[in-house]
Chains A and B, each alone.
Chain A
Amino acid sequence: MTPGRSSGAVLLAVDNISLSFGGVKALTGISFDVREQEIRAIIGPNGAGKSSMLNVINGVYHPQQGTITFRGEVRRDMNTHRAAAQGIARTFQNIALFKGMSVLDNILTGRNLKMHATFIEQAIYLGRARREELENRRKVEEVIDFLEIQHIRKTPVGKLPYGLQKRVELARALAAEPILLLLDEPMAGMNIEEKQDMCRFVLDVNEQYGTTIVLIEHDMGVVMDISDRVIVLDYGKKIGDGTPDEVRGSQAVIDAYLGVAN
């Protein structure tokens, strides 16, 4: 990977974040930063708190302690709507598509923040409402084209195989034209070809749109290939942070991964 990318300005910084459910500590004093245009991976054994970290970043969970700095703004915590409005999009570990809708509609929902027509305008379907519908449809079609899912455009997502659903979910996130893209195990449960495709897409997104990406991934090969810097979590604590090679070398990481299958 081009090492230069990790020297960009800091886009997101989390500082000393702690999160717990009832008594259970999910994250303890986590701090790291994400620089513009880089691909940042979060790895760690199951239950290390990776997903919780993402959920904190885009405001699904509210940490008891610590601050989040996004685009220079320091905050106690995020809230989902604000996060979305400020350009954070994400995908989920177990697919969170809208099962009752077509691929096209799913991706269109990704653009809801770009549409401002009131429901009355939409009911009459003239002027702004109509214009927005068509403009955003075009945007969505570009995403569809980008992710090569033209052939399933009008299929209900429920009918799609797992790999494609993952791709559609990515499409929905991309449709929002995010600045920061959070991917929660984008390649989990995929076969080799699907993984390769997904890797290609992640890299293309990063290159084509200059999107900063934070991803959780189990497949070490993938992580080492595509990420600029890697954070290693274990039992809610950060045990490693650096370039793939640095991390690969670190004893703490090796210990954490001893016996862990992937």
Chain B
Amino acid sequence: MEAELATFPRLLLEHAHVRGERPATREKDLGIWQTWTWAQVADEVRALACGLAALGFKRGMRLAIIGDNRPRLYWSMTAAQALGGIAVPMYQDAPAAEFVYVLNDAEIVYAIVEDQEQVDKILEAAPQVPSLKHIYYDDPRGLRNYEGVTSIDRLQEIGREFDLAHPDFYNDEVARGRSGDVSIVLYTSGTTGKPKGVCQTHAAFIVSAQGGCGFDKLDSRDSILSYLPMAWVGDHLFSYAQWLVAGFTINCPESGDTVMTDLREIGPTYYFAPPRVFENLLTQVMIRMEDASPIKRGLFRYFTAVARRCGAAILDRKPVSVSDRLLYALGNVLVYAPLRNVLGMSRIRVAYTAGAAIGPDLFRFYRSIGINLKQLYGSTETCAYVCLQPDGGVKFDTVGEAAPGVEIKIAEGGEVLVRGPMLLKEYYKRPDATAESIDSEGFFHTGDAGLIDDSGQLKIIDRAKDVGKMNGGAMFAPNYIENKLKFFPHIKEAVAFGNGRDSVCAFINIDMGSVGNWAERRGIAYSGYTDLGAKPEVYRLIGECVEEVNAELAREGPLSASQIHRFIILHKELDPDDDELTRTRKVRRNFIAEKYGVLIDALYSDRDVQHIETLVKFEDGRSGMVAADLKIEEAKTLPAADAREAA
């Protein structure tokens, strides 16, 4: 990369120069999409930067940025960077109390926030943040009589005056920037302990962005909807780094609850969403189709079937029979294209999802109706950039191949190690943490366990710390197995055991909703969860799911040993109130193993019925005993198949 484009402020100047009149930023405001060209953005940023400088913002200082995705908040990042400062975007939905830690940790003096709500919160936090001196706000609504806060408009006025007085100041400052400088500190919403500030350099993000843009051929004609938290690494890569590298247009929605409408209006060509968003969308589609006329429903059902058969293949340009192609073309006119349109996805060239495992059916659905949905893998420490799925090489259970310039290595315990220019510089003021996550060879320890499949794509299977070993020495990844089970609508929760055992066994919670329906359709009467779970038909139903999972596992080389031999359908639903799940509904494996020791023993014995009594808390707080005789079911397992034939 040529040295003079090594920082974001310089990239901005470059765009203003080569495509000054093309749209850079849009925001749905006052009913229309207000648009700023690259030239205008450059000018706004210049005013902001000069304003900050005039009011004493110095090189190396950190600028806190809090609020929804607003153009001027994005711009203030560049403004800070132009002065050699560091942007510190923070999660806008966090309560004031949480602000305090980050503001102090980053020794924030200057903060730019969105509106009255954020101002109120930061003022609430201020007393505990001695360093904080200057607060600027974007939206003046309701802030008339506030003391000690200034509007960005005012800030820019000051800036413009300052600029007139010191015409060369801005360009000099930008010129002094180095690509090795830290451009941003992103705080990881650490599940354990205090959040850590991840310091990323201009270079790291620019390289990652360039890699990604090259990989998916993104250019200045693309456009993206910026609706994910600015403090999240993904948004920083897609809506900021790639924006300034590729020079495409970012679009800020009118408000949180109009995102879907705005998506429909903008019709972005490049889109990112976490799996749950896609899941909710699909559910909505299904619900809305329910009320459609029989004809439409028929069409929809028929053509989605067609798509399931050949859609993905056509998207991947794989050979497909002529008849199917014709049918698909017809379906495209009648269903897929209109559907993409109402979802606002007609123009999408590349869509990514990441952050959690996505169900294969869900994933396939979007691809089958012609939306190029792909998965990627990365973390805050790696600029959200490690693996990408190449067009035509998309699988639902991998996260793709190593991104350009990235080195991947699987460690002994199966942990994924990565090395490359996109790695974090350090954890802010946490040398210890830095040292422990980056080893001597410069490899970053992701904390995820995974394996490289035969096609060279990375498959993430579990958190490294959860991965165990079976007596046979094979790797045991409970989450991976549990996820596979949970992808079945009938299975709500699953807990797999096998660490230090000869075989894998599992507890299963059926999904009352879907199994309930299933039972009613078959006229199976049941009194409640426990009763339904004990029905032999239900055992058979779940058994089939388990065996499908086994079949899949059998094809996955090292994991084929993790096939489930025996399982139990639990007599009660795992429940946070009984401490069996975390509040975020993650299974607390060890606690459960203790609580249901009897059952585990039974699973690993040759008994096929086990009596159990459990203490449960009811909604009203009372607690009582639930007793049941649980059947233990054998599940068919298959010999480890050669992975190649499967792929």
Contacts and interface: CB of A to CB of B under 8 A. Distances in A.
B31 A144 contact: yes
A208 B144 contact: yes
A191 B145 CA distance: 29
A138 B29 CA distance: 10
Contact of A207 (B145, B254, B258, B261): B145
B513 interface: no
A141 B255 CA distance: 15
11 contacts: A142-B30, A144-B30, A144-B31, A150-B31, A150-B254, A151-B257, A151-B258, A153-B31, A204-B141, A207-B144, A208-B141
A146 interface: yes
A206 B631 CA distance: 70
Interface string A182-215: 0000000000000000000000100110000000
B142 interface: yes
Contacts of B32: 141
A145 interface: yes
Main secondary structure of the interface of A (DSSP, over half): helix
Contacts of B145: 207
Given A150-B255, A151-B258, A141 B144 contact: no
Contacts of B144: 207-208
Interface residues of A, number: 13
Nearest to A145: B30
Contacts of A204: 141-142
Interface of B: 29-32, 141-142, 144-145, 254-255, 257-258, 261
A207 B145 CA distance: 9
B31 A146 contact: no
Contacts of B261: 151
B35 to A, nearest CB: 15
Contacts of B141: 146, 204, 208
| 5 closest cross-chain pairs (CB), A and B | A141-B30, A141-B31, A150-B254, A145-B30, A151-B258
A110 to B, nearest CB: 16
Given A141-B32, A151-B261, 20 more contacts: A137-B31, A138-B30, A141-B30, A141-B31, A142-B30, A144-B30, A144-B31, A145-B29, A145-B30, A146-B141, A150-B31, A150-B254, A150-B255, A150-B258, A153-B31, A207-B144, A207-B145, A208-B141, A208-B142, A208-B144
Contacts of B31: 137, 141, 144, 150, 153
Contacts of A142: 30
B528 to A, nearest CB: 36
Instruction: Choose among B31, B257, B258 the residue with the greatest number of A CB atoms under 10 Å from its CB.
Output: B31
Contacts of A153: 31
Contacts of B257: 151
Q: Which of A141, A150, A151 has the largest number of chain B CB atoms within 10 A?
A: A150
Contacts of A150: 31, 254-255, 258
Nearest to A207: B144
